[in-house]
Amino acid sequence: MNSVLLLIIFIPAIEIFLFIKIGSQIGAITTVLLIFATAIIGVYYAKYEGLNTLKAGFTQLRNNKAPTYEMISGAAIAFAALLLIIPGFATDVMGFLLIFPITRKFFFGKFAKKFKTSDTEKNTFIDGDFEDIEDDHDKKI
């Protein structure tokens, strides 16, 4: 089966199971309040981390460097905020793991290893020929 279809089926099933188990231990009202609290705290912390990432991105741009890590980190923070807004305990755990910088770097390291190329000696140049063409109609303004 398709992995997206499996996620659509299993994530709500896991969340319902956790609602029942945790709700039976701490009570229904406490469970609902805990879900609201994690959503509110998570969204505010996502806002804080997003602003820090934005500052770091502008610092990278000021240093004439590409803010690639900051862009990926910003996307991960936005996804984590979405996970925290969705009611559930499993999605909250994943959201909090993505928001914290230490665990986010760990996930990025594991993810980068998966897509790293095996070609260690890459050429950083393109070999080619050029011909200089002068044209009277090509005037610069």
What's residue 18's pLDDT? Answer: 92
* Amino acid 130: pLDDT: 74
CA Rg, the chain, in Å?
24
Decide: 31 and 22 in contact? Cβ < 8 Å. Answer: yes
- All structural domains of the chain with their residue ranges: 10-112
Question: What is d(CA 90, CA 82) in angstroms, rounded to the nearest whole number?
Answer: 13
| Tens digits of residue pLDDT in 77-96 | 999 999 999 999 999 999 99
Q: What is the pLDDT of residue 41?
A: 93
Q: What is the 3-state secondary structure (H, E, C) of the chain?
A: CCHHHHHHHHHHHHHHHHHHHHHHHHCHHHHHHHHHHHHHHHHHHHHHHHHHHHHHHHHHHHCCCCCHHHHHHHHHHHHHHHHHHCCCHHHHHHHHHHHCHHHHHHHHHHHHHHHCCCCCCCCCCCCCCCCCCCCCCCCCC
| pLDDT surpasses 70 at 140 | no
pLDDT digits (tens, 9 = 90+) for 2-52: 888 888 889 999 999 999 999 999 999 999 999 999 999 999 999 999 999
The region of weakest confidence among 1-10, 62-71, 97-106, 107-116 is: 107-116
Mean pLDDT (whole number) for 99-124 = 77
